[in-house]
């Protein structure tokens, strides 16, 4: 019997993002199991990334553990986030999480809204 192909993680975190998420979670007022990440309709480009503390995993959440951080992916967002790298950038003027998403086709000028196309089935099956 053939070995099952390893699952491709939906997302991965940079060291900077993992460190920042751990810092924020350590200060949470209630116990949390991880960070829930998703997408929602909105903004001038069509979609926005969402992030919130998760007190428990949802029944259909995709769970990704990377660099000591548990990320829970909303099941409706999986194809939109497949292959995404979450980073944290800070400079003199801003500090923010940045999503390097291969499925993103454009973004608005404000940087808050993006256009995302779901990952193609062929790319998912090929492990891209």
83 burial class (0-12, 13-18, 19+ CB within 10 angstroms)?
middle
pTM of the model: 0.79
**Greatest mean pLDDT among 5-9, 90-94, 111-115, 118-122:** 90-94
Q: How far apart, in Å, are the Cα atoms of 60 and each of 74, 78, 83, 90?
A: 8, 11, 19, 33
Mean pLDDT, residues 96-122 taken together = 74
pLDDT exceeds cutoff 90 at 37: yes
Spell out the domains of the chain, with CATH numbers in brackets.
11-126 (2.60.300.12)
The 47-54 sheet, strands edge to edge:
62-66, 69-73, 34-41, 47-54, 114-116, 104-107
Q: Which residue has the tokens 């099941």?
A: 75
28 burial class (0-12, 13-18, 19+ CB within 10 angstroms)?
exposed
pLDDT exceeds cutoff 90 at 65: yes
């Amino acid at each position: 019997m053939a070995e099952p192909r390893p699952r491709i993680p939906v997302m991965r975190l940079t060291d900077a993002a993992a460190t920042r998420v751990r810092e924020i979670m350590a200060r949470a007022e209630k116990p949390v199991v991880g960070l829930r990440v998703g997408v929602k309709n909105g903004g001038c480009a069509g979609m926005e990334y969402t992030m919130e503390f998760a007190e428990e995993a949802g029944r259909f959440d995709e769970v990704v553990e990377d660099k000591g951080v548990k990320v829970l992916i909303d099941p409706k967002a999986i194809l939109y986030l497949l292959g995404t790298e979450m980073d944290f950038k800070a400079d003199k003027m801003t500090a923010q999480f940045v999503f390097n998403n291969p499925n993103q086709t454009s973004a608005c000028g404000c940087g808050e809204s993006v256009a995302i196309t779901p990952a193609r089935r062929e790319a998912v099956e090929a492990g891209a």
